[in-house]
Amino acid sequence: MPYNLTFPSGTVQYYFNSQFQELDEVLRDKTPIIITDKNVQKLHAPLMEGFPIISLPPGEKTKSIETVAFVGERLIKMEATRKTILVGVGGGVITDLTGFIASVYLRGVDFGFVPTTLLGMVDASIGGKNGVNLGMYKNMLGTIRQPSFILHDAKFLDTLPEQEWSNGFAEAIKYACVFESSLFEKLLSHDIQDFKNSPAALQSMIQRCAEWKNKTVLDDEQEQGSRKLLNFGHTAGHAIETTQDIPHGFAVSIGMIISCCVSERLLGLPSEVRNLLTSLLEQYSLPTSIEFNPDQVMNILKMDKKRTEEGLDLILLEKIGKGIIRSVPFQFIYEALVSFSNETRH
């Protein structure tokens, strides 16, 4: 049975642990059009048979304003009206894009998500942030609007490439660090293969992460305060992601380690925490060191839109399970970057 979550910008019906076939019931009198990518379409064609589909090339490049125009024109040809519901079936790229198109087509039509990646299930499909990139500027155009439903069908994960599992676990580890030490313990006692072998454990982990994200967004949909906790590992991570082409989860993994380095300097976080986090990340095949140029990364951080005169708000760790928002002077960040990059080199 679904349960409802009401945010300032709308109510989401949640169907955890469900099946794609239940979509008919979820959609009721609405006319669906599926938006997906070619990988997902190819791998799961039988499930989507009979639905009108717009299938897009996979990858971050598809999250563009050109795609919005392309899909808009297709929707006109398909005679989509206000009775249409756009159903995004895919990873973060597809759900971000579907939410954005649905927010602007005919000044807004209904939309819902079937996330097909672990990252999508625990993070990207949740929270109502929709958007596209403008050139190299990520999520530069966007809206905050909630999908009317989110349906999880774990069957999609059967075809998920190994690297995408790691990407999703980077976000799960993030929630554990910032919110819940017992989730950290649980992740420590498993690995990707264990979760694949135990659908119940996987389901409960996914649901726990989704609950943390929902709870945080419920408290602060517009990201004025506590929602920033979800950025743990993301500020430094994004800066590194800008300098080299690595998967999002890999960047977040490195970013979380850098946050620990800053936390050691600023809050006296014991170095054992960083060691424990390092081994957990490695357990999920995530990188914990990388060669980078601290000056270049620092310059990118200084261009961050959220910077103040003296520094940046970063999410630091007081301990496992307790993240805090702190304004950190640039000097501290720089020193942490230099010492981390030196360790990486040796």
The residue behind tokens 């989509």 is 80
Between CA 58 and CA 46 the distance in angstroms is 19
155: which residues sit within 8 A by CB, 6+ positions away?
19, 20, 47
Contact between residue 236 and residue 297 where contact means Cβ atoms under 8 Å apart: yes
Which of 20/340 has CB closer to ligand ADP?
Answer: 20
Taking the complex as a whole, how short is the minimal distance between the CB of residue 208 and ligand ADP, in angstroms?
19
Which of 144/251 has CB closer to ligand ADP?
Answer: 251
Sole binder of ligand ADP in the list 17, 31, 39, 344 (CB under 6 A): 39
Binding to ligand ADP in span 43-82, by CB under 6 A: 43, 58
Taking the complex as a whole, how short is the minimal distance between the CB of residue 98 and ligand ADP, in angstroms?
11
Within 198-247, residue ranges assigned H as helices are 199-219, 234-243
From the list 135, 301, 170, the residue with the least C-alpha distance to 248 is 170
Which of 63/274 has CB closer to ligand ADP?
Answer: 63
**Sole window of 11-19, 84-92, 180-188, 278-286 interacting with ligand ADP (rule: CB under 6 A):** 84-92
Sole binder of ligand ADP in the list 41, 84, 98, 117 (CB under 6 A): 117
CA 38, 52, 121, 44 dihedral sign is negative
Sole binder of ligand ADP in the list 35, 80, 87, 93 (CB under 6 A): 93
Which of 14/250 has CB closer to ligand ADP?
Answer: 250
Give me the phi and psi of 308, to 5 degrees please. -110, -175
Taking the complex as a whole, how short is the minimal distance between the CB of residue 241 and ligand ADP, in angstroms?
12
**Sole window of 90-98, 214-222, 234-242, 290-298 interacting with ligand ADP (rule: CB under 6 A):** 90-98
b/e 238-255 (16+ beta carbons within 10 angstroms → b): bbbbbeeebbbbbbbbbb
Sole binder of ligand ADP in the list 94, 114, 210, 314 (CB under 6 A): 94
Sole binder of ligand ADP in the list 14, 35, 47, 92 (CB under 6 A): 92
* Residue length of the chain: 346
Binding to ligand ADP in span 127-156, by CB under 6 A: 156
Give me the phi and psi of 334, to 5 degrees please. -60, -45
Sole binder of ligand ADP in the list 54, 80, 122, 160 (CB under 6 A): 160
**Sole window of 119-127, 191-199, 201-209, 270-278 interacting with ligand ADP (rule: CB under 6 A):** 119-127
Taking the complex as a whole, how short is the minimal distance between the CB of residue 164 and ligand ADP, in angstroms?
5
Q: Interface with ligand ADP by CB under 6 A: which residues?
A: 37, 39-40, 43, 58, 90-94, 116-117, 119-120, 124, 156, 159-161, 164, 167
